[in-house]
């Protein structure tokens, strides 16, 4: 079947590269995600191994539907007992665009009734079906994921306005971080530690979904064998001025099973760690959710000054939704993005040596 791997708009090309590296077949990026070929076992592997995907949808039916009666009739022709477990509690969500069927809720109700008549609900697992009707073409997909994939399962402490794990991994990939030959990664405003933890996990070869559950487990699919982890050198560092964030981030790294050095410090205290030059990647406040924008120009200016003076030759990445704040660093930055992020659009501003 066809699998559709969802990601944030703007990250489709990076996800496609990741899926090709994972050995997926038929990789084809499209708006909002990437399609690959595979069965439910492949969906399980992608769910566990992909860092950039948000969820994996398995296409189970596709047909034309011009009106609700036709939608009902054709949904009943799908072999639901071969797709869904006995007694499954099925939730149907529908989206209609540019179609003669325009009422999302009515479309969802018709498909839900057709499914329930074929697979009577009971005390089985909860399963979600996604119905998309666009230009009168109805595509029904089985959500094999459950909770979104950026929820890794071992990060309990969450800071203010955090960067999602998938975006952190994608931005590291965009900046050329190579897990097979890792370099130091420093986040000078690390919050809950997402960026250095993701880098350390990538270097260790750890699958991001190793600590959590998935919908596909209720569909009779065996859990894939995990790859053996690689030894991780002490290359990953997080700094924050908030001692509570430093402690919480350290616990997140401990649960993830990766070595990350966290310390408390201001931007003015930032110095490069010993060893080769690497990557500075950070997600500072940008006034959209936290921080006063007018006061942030000084913060960005101080960050840019420290990086220019002490981190010459390092790759630098700054995530912000505000081009003015990026410019305030005084660094020569090139944009990558924008990328959709929780109702905002953010850009990775990069300086490459």
Domain residue spans of the chain: 2-143, 165-351
- Local structure of 77: helix, strand or coil: coil
Residue ranges, the chain, pLDDT below 50 = none
The answer for residues whose C-beta is within 8 angstroms of residue 54's C-beta and 6 or more apart is: 6, 7, 8, 145, 148, 149, 150, 166
150 vs 55: CA distance, rounded Å:
9
Extract the tokens encoding 197. Answer: 């933890």
As a CATH number, domain 165-351 is 3.40.50.150
Under 8 Å between Cβ of 91 and 215: no
Under 8 Å between Cβ of 64 and 137: yes
- Local structure of 329: helix, strand or coil: coil
13 vs 197: CA distance, rounded Å:
23
Q: Can you give the pLDDT at residue 289?
A: 56
pTM comes to 0.94
As a CATH number, domain 2-143 is 3.30.2130.30
Under 8 Å between Cβ of 249 and 243: no
46 vs 51: CA distance, rounded Å:
9
62 vs 98: CA distance, rounded Å:
17
Q: Can you give the pLDDT at residue 155?
A: 87
Question: Which of 44, 216, 227 lies closest to 127 in space, CA to CA?
Answer: 216
Under 8 Å between Cβ of 9 and 31: yes
Q: Can you give the pLDDT at residue 226?
A: 95
The answer for residues whose C-beta is within 8 angstroms of residue 71's C-beta and 6 or more apart is: 65, 101, 107, 110, 111, 133, 138
- Taking the mean position of all CA atoms in its chain, how far away is CA 275? 30
Under 8 Å between Cβ of 209 and 149: yes
The answer for residues whose C-beta is within 8 angstroms of residue 260's C-beta and 6 or more apart is: 193, 196, 197, 200, 236, 237, 238, 249, 250, 253
Question: DSSP characters for 117-182?
Answer: HHS---SS-EEEEEEEEETTEEEEEEE---S-TT--SS-----SSPPPHHHHHHHHHHTT--TTS-
Q: Can you give the pLDDT at residue 291?
A: 54
229 vs 180: CA distance, rounded Å:
12
3-state SS, one letter per residue, for 227-276 = CCCCCCCCCEEEEECCHHHHHHHHHHHHHHCCCCEEEECCHHHCCCCCCC
């Amino acid at each position: 079947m066809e699998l559709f791997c969802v990601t944030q708009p703007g990250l489709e090309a990076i996800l496609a590269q990741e899926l090709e590296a994972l050995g997926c077949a038929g990789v084809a990026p499209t708006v909002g995600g990437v399609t690959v070929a595979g069965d439910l076992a492949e969906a399980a592997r992608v769910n566990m191994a992909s860092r950039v995907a948000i969820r994996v949808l398995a296409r189970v039916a596709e047909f034309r539907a011009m009106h609700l009666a036709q939608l009902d009739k054709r949904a009943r022709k799908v072999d639901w007992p071969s797709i869904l477990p006995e007694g499954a509690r099925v939730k149907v969500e529908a989206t209609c665009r540019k179609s003669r069927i325009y009422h999302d809720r009515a479309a969802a109700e018709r498909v839900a009734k057709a499914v329930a008549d074929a697979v009577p609900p009971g005390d089985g697992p909860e399963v979600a079906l996604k119905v998309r009707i666009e230009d009168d073409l109805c595509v029904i997909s089985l959500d094999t994921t459950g909770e979104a994939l950026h929820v890794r399962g071992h990060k309990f402490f969450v800071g203010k306005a955090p960067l999602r794990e998938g975006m952190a991994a994608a931005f590291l990939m965009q900046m050329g971080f190579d897990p097979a030959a890792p370099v130091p990664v420093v986040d000078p405003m690390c919050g809950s530690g997402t960026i250095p933890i993701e880098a350390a996990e990538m270097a260790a070869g750890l699958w991001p979904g190793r600590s959590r559950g998935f919908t596909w487990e209720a569909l009779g699919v065996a859990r894939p064998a995990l790859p053996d982890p690689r030894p991780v050198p002490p290359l990953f560092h997080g700094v924050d001025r908030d001692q509570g964030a430093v402690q919480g981030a350290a616990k997140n790294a401990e649960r993830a099973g990766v070595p990350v050095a966290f310390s408390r410090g201001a931007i003015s205290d930032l110095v490069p760690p010993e060893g080769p030059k690497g990557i500075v990647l950070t997600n500072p406040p940008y006034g959209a959710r936290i921080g006063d924008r007018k006061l942030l120009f000084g913060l960005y200016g101080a960050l840019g000054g420290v990086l220019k003076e002490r981190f010459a030759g390092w790759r630098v990445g700054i995530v912000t939704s505000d081009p003015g704040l990026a410019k305030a660093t005084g660094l020569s930055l090139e944009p990558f993005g924008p990328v959709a992020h929780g109702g905002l659009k953010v850009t990775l501003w990069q300086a490459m040596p």
